[in-house]
Amino acid sequence: MSDPLHEVRPWGQFWVLHDDPGFKVKRIDVLPGKRLSYQRHSKRAEHWTVVRGRALVTLDGKDIELGSGASIDIPRGAAHRVANPGPDALSFVEVQLGTYFGEDDIERLSDDFGRA
C-alpha cells in the first residue's frame, strides 16, 4: 500500500506537504528528460515555484522557461504541463487553491505514459 503523503509516478515523484480544506501544498520532483501530462483542472488553480533545476512550463500552448527561484500561476481551467529539459533534478513547490484537490480533477489532454 502506498503512503498517501508520497507517490511515485513514471515522470518522478511528489510529496503532499500540507492538505487543508482551502489549499494543498506539494513538493514535486521531475526526472531529467521527463514531463507531466498536458492537463487542466476545473476545481483548482495552482502556483508553482521552482526550487531546484530548470522547468519548461507549457501554459495554454505557450512555452515558458523557469529557473530556480522563479514562479508561475496556473489559472483554473488552463491547459498546462511541466517538463525537465535538463540533465539534473527539477524540484518545485505547488500550491493548489480551490474547492477540490483530488487527483481525479485532472483532465489529461496528452500524456507520454498512455494515461490520456
C-alpha–C-alpha distance, residues 64 and 2, integer Å: 33
Q: Which residues does residue 73 pair with via DSSP β-bridges, in sequence order?
A: 47
**Mean pLDDT score, 27-37:** 98
Closest C-alpha to 50, from 30, 69, 75, 77: 69
Q: Determine the pLDDT at residue 103.
A: 84
CATH superfamily for 6-109 is Jelly Rolls (2.60.120.10)
pLDDT above 80 (res 116): no
Closest C-alpha to 47, from 37, 38, 59, 35: 59
C-alpha–C-alpha distance, residues 89 and 69, integer Å: 15
